[in-house]
A and B are shown apart, each in its own frame.
Chain A
């Protein structure tokens, strides 16, 4: 568990804009250990998906990585050209997207898409690829007899299983799962998460799980990173962050998560006042200070960095 598969250092992603540039991700550093599930949580636009896209080299133009380094074990990958990167995508780093209904090519059978991916990355024959594809389907709980079925013949949950089979088909070491269950029925969400977790444990593959659902984070991840306005607010073991949140934003986020325990049903949900600032109107200092009840002068003037590798907040500057 100690060795890291991925190291991201001072990542900065910008989008050129009519009036200068928008900074979508600023100075984000973290690492993912082998076999670990790291959660990314935050509001829409906080930079969760963008971080995932940066790692796998699929930031939509005109956005680009302006600064920072991304290391996959001992290979630096943020400067690879398209051709070299196709050898990593799918093979070493893979991705699962939010909407299983649109993630598969509607005009080709699932078997065809599986074989295509396997043969792209592994030196196997057509028959061997087909055998692997069938085995992959069986592992995610889909009858291999439906090898020649088209995506529209499956339900949403089943399609996400197919997507997972595809993402895992070339045995990658890191899977970036971008809101993999958000588009699914609640009853199916748990099954799909459990499946993803199990398969990755079996392969000792690491997962970056992007979500805005604190419940998913609590159930699934080993460590969690909280993003706010493109910056890391807090990062640490899930247990610790959930039970002793340090950053005022994390505390607000946890307090505003509904729970269904009896007796809690009538209590009013906590809200963080205001909204996350737009990227073209980031406040000075700590981006959270306009919404923070502990804001001091320092928070307005100076941007806090990650302290003790855990939390970016001046409250903990002396501790």
Chain B
């Protein structure tokens, strides 16, 4: 068991180093950092000085190593556009993105799982059929369209909710939160639904399919034959067996929520790292882009690690090494 955890940790580190390599390659080879930083009118002496300061003449492995050590200390270099520290830019905007991602992840998980269970149990009912058909809309509509539609209905026509920005935020240390003010919470609703709708419908369909599969199993028949009421059969026996495959997909999808917040943040002018990234792409701000890549890579790796640990917690057969993971 400890061995499995250690092995997963090691794998996580290797993956992160590879992501760092890609980020480094972008940082070092896309465009000329010297030109980007100094502009075209710089003298040869200025150029020389900067090359020395950045160590661009060192062997590539040394430069990569320095990139990694710097990144570990939170130093991603200086933004080409604003000349500010990239780490500062990201730290300033990360709370907005993480809060948005957290709310939409909760929305996707809780609503998706509940609807999945409901549609599995009452699979022939009218309500379940309606939910299933309308979930197709959630899967097939692109995010920005859903965002625009929600803005039109709830912000423009009904005027219930704000259409852009975070509302008022409260500063707690370095963290600015929108959870503590009414306008902050109201501002979260539309972008969170927009961001999580696809994942919600996906999780719902997955939970439903898995649940139907589990309900056909012998141990469910035996549980009924032992006289356990429906509630216990569904929640005490079926649900937990549904979770292992669901967690795999849900984990990856939650990573996607952070990574693809870009579109939602653009539609709602949400001041998060996604918006920062979009602006960085416009201005070819390479350090910001490579830092963002590292950040997203880390989020995925961490979530995957958590998923692996959850497997171990849920399924004793995996703990004993009897069963391999069902999916990767």
* Chain A residues packing against B (C-beta within 8 Å): 56, 58, 82-83, 86-91, 94-95, 97, 99, 102-108, 116-117, 120-121, 150, 152-153, 163, 166-167, 170
Given known pairs A102-B218, A103-B219, the reply for A82 and B225 (CB within 8 Å) is no
Assess the A90–B228 pair: CB atoms within 8 A. Answer: yes
Q: How far is the CA of A167 from the CA of B218 in the complex (A)?
A: 14
- Known A87-B227, A90-B226, A90-B227; contact A116-B316, beta-carbon cutoff 8 A: no
| Contact A152-B320, Cβ < 8 Å, known A88-B227, A89-B224, A120-B227 | yes
Q: Is B232 engaged at the interface, CB distance under 8 Å to the other chain?
A: yes
Least CB distance, B310 to chain A, in whole angstroms: 13
B317 at the interface (CB under 8 A from A): yes
B66 contacts the other chain (CB 8 A): no
B241-265 to A contact mask, C-beta < 8 Å, 1/0: 1000000000000000000000000
Interface centre among B219, B232, B316, B322 (most CB of A within 10 A): B219
Please count how many residues in chain B sit with their CB below 8 Å of the partner chain's CB atoms. Answer: 24
Question: What is the number of contacts between chain A and chain B, taking CB atoms within 8 Å?
Answer: 79
Q: Is the CB of A103 within 8 A of B316?
A: no
Q: Are A94 and B230 in contact (CB under 8 A)?
A: no
Tell me if B's interface is mostly helix, strand, loop or mixed: helix
Judge whether A152 and B226 touch: CB under 8 Å. no
8 Å CB interface, B202-242 against A: 217-219, 221-230, 232, 236-237, 240-241
Task: Kindly list chain B residues whose C-beta atoms are within 8 Å of the C-beta of A105.
Answer: 219, 223, 237, 241
Q: What are the residues of chain B within 8 A of A107 when measuring CB–CB?
A: 240-241, 314-316
Pairs across A and B, CB under 8 Å, 6 listed? A86-B229, A97-B222, A97-B225, A104-B219, A107-B240, A152-B316
In the bound complex, do residue B228 and residue A97 qualify as a contact, i.e. CB atoms below 8 Å apart? Answer: no
Q: Once the chains are docked, how many angstroms separate the CA of A103 from the CA of B314?
A: 19
Given contacts A89-B227, A107-B314, contact A102 B322 (CB under 8 A): no
Give the distance to chain B from A317, nearest Cβ to Cβ, in Å.
40
Q: Check if A97 sits within 8 Å of B241, measured CB to CB.
A: no
Report how far A161 CA is from B232 CA in the complex, Å. Answer: 23
Which residues on the A side are within 8 Å of B322 (C-beta)?
A: 152
Query: When chains A and B are docked, how far (Å) is the Cα of A83 from the Cα of B224?
Result: 11
Which of A87, A94, A102, A108 has a CB less than 8 Å from the CB of B226? A94
Instruction: Determine the distance from Cα of A197 to Cα of B221 in the docked complex, in whole angstroms.
Output: 23
A289–B315 Cα distance when bound, in Å, is 53
* Chain A positions within 8 Å of B237 at CB level: 105, 108
- Contacts A153-B320, A163-B222 known; list 5 others, CB within 8 Å: A90-B227, A97-B221, A150-B316, A152-B322, A170-B226
Q: Which residue of B232, B241, B314, B317 is within 8 Å of A152 (Cβ)?
A: B317
A144 to B218, CA, bound (A): 25
Contacts of A94 in B (CB 8 A): 225-226
- Known interface pairs A106-B317, A107-B315, A152-B317; A89-B225 also in contact (CB < 8 Å): yes
